[in-house]
Amino acid sequence: MDFLYNVRLVDGPFYWTVLGAGVAGSVFLLLRRDRRWLLSIVLSLAAASGVVAVIHWLLVNVLTVFPEDLPIDVLVWSTVAFSALVLFLFRLRGSSWRGRSAAGISFVSVLLLSALQINSYFGLNHTAADLFGHNVGRIPELEAGFKRGVSGNTPVAALEGGIVRRASIPGIESGFTAKDAFIYLPPAYLATDRSQLPVLVLFAGQPGRPADWLTGGLLEQNMNSFAARHGGVAPVVVVVDPNGSDTANTMCMDSRIARADTYLAIDVPRWINSTLEVSADPRKWAVGGFSFGATCAVQMTTLHPEIYPSFIAFSGEREPSLGPDRGRTIQTAFGGDAAAFDALTPLTLMKQRSYDGHAGYFAVGAADSEFVRFASELAAAARTSGFDVRHASVPGAGHSWAVAVQELPSAMEFLSPRWGLVQ
């Protein structure tokens, strides 16, 4: 069973086997000794394109599952999968059982190929185990607010890395019900005085869940590498759920939808301070995220700089949204009160306030054109308002977790001097 869990989904033998089978399946579905089959291919592509376009429009504009249009790569591979389904159905008529079986196997191979390509684009699940979530235990001491370390005074050098645990962070002030948070405790937390350790609060994308930072973001590996370069010292990382479910979207605001801002600005810091032993110095706290989570991180720092004085934003939006229709976002969340919405957006806040002494790290995939524009506009506004800004671009990357994986080490080093950490 461990062998199956460790199967690689973005490279390796399984990936290349599926790639080869998918290409072979595509050839089988496309080729047929029938002059009219070309018309079937055209019809399958037209039908698939129409279905994908309608579903995409519904997901973005009606159901607001996604706040922005999906990348073209994802739409193309979705169209390939639907087209293969239509061709499979066309082949059922007049075919022998062998022909039908071959068509079914070909369709499944193309479907798997499309799924792997979409997964590879987003960079979310690296192994089969990632599909089933991380089996992360709870620390009873964390749930009870017990501040002792996990393993006494073990020398830092004797520890290979930190540990990841999960815990519930109650919405006492906000009334918000969040999914479990994931907590990374660095080697130094397990072995030495923890009162000087910095804190990094992270948010995932939307739709998404906190565990995405463990799978797509390779958080544990990245943080262990950082700790190894800094004598076992790294931030205590708390990956928080600001939405309450995988598909909800609170925009990290206090609105008609939820009191998400109160949860993130009051409930979460209170829980961290009462449950974990970390630095009480606000300069050693930071917030970050990917996609929706990046937007949320910028919101937290611009609205609550005394709590989260620094942020890390990977592929964030220009402003929080429920979809492309800004008017609908404002109507749903604020009853049509545009002024109330605008007053809480980072671009408005950065025009009104000075953020001297604060810091922000922006990174985006170079191929993610719309979000490249968002990052440039936000970075310029942040510099003008006083932020110490670093702005990076990842060559070849789209709207993918690859941005977070590649740029998190640089973002950590950017914040290290603020945390008092010297390599």
pLDDT digits (tens, 9 = 90+) for 207-239: 999 999 999 999 999 999 999 999 899 999 999
| Sequence-separated (6 or more) residues with CB below 8 Å from residue 278 | 194, 195, 197, 198, 199, 236, 272, 284
pLDDT at residue 221, rounded to an integer: 95
Distance, CA of 102 to CA of 403 (rounded, Å)? 39
pLDDT at residue 262, rounded to an integer: 98
pLDDT of residue 4 exceeding 90: no
Pairing of strands 359-365, 388-394: parallel
Can you tell me the mean pLDDT for 59-63? 88
pLDDT of residue 264 exceeding 60: yes
pLDDT at residue 159, rounded to an integer: 56
Most confident of 136-150, 157-171, 382-396: 382-396
More confident residue, 55 or 155: 55
Q: For the whole model, what pTM was predicted?
A: 0.90
Can you tell me the mean pLDDT for 57-78? 90
pLDDT tens digit sequence for 268-290: 999 999 999 999 898 999 999 99
pLDDT of residue 93 exceeding 90: no
pLDDT at residue 25, rounded to an integer: 95
pLDDT at residue 142, rounded to an integer: 54
- Among 127-131, 201-205, 280-284, the minimum mean pLDDT is found in 127-131
| Cα-Cα end-to-end distance for the chain | 40
> Measured at the alpha carbon of residue 99, what is the angle toward residues 93 and 104, in degrees to the nearest 5?
85
Can you tell me the mean pLDDT for 125-145? 67
Can you tell me the mean pLDDT for 306-329? 96
Count each helix (H run) and each strand (E run) in the chain, helices first.
18, 8
More confident residue, 138 or 173: 173
Buried b (16+ CB within 10 A) or exposed e, 177-215: ebbbbbbbbbbbbbbbebebbbbbbbbbbbbbbbbbbbb
pLDDT at residue 137, rounded to an integer: 61
The average confidence (pLDDT) of the chain is 91
pLDDT of residue 381 exceeding 50: yes
pLDDT at residue 135, rounded to an integer: 60
Domains of the chain in start order, with CATH, are 2-122 (no CATH), 134-419 (3.40.50.1820)
- Tokens standing for residue 384: 């003008």
Rg (CA), the chain: 24
pLDDT of residue 180 exceeding 70: yes
- Tokens standing for residue 264: 């993130």
Whether the CB-CB separation of 213 and 239 falls below 8 Å is answered with yes
Can you tell me the mean pLDDT for 167-171? 96
pLDDT of residue 152 exceeding 50: no
pLDDT tens digit sequence for 325-364: 999 999 999 999 999 999 999 999 999 999 999 999 999 9
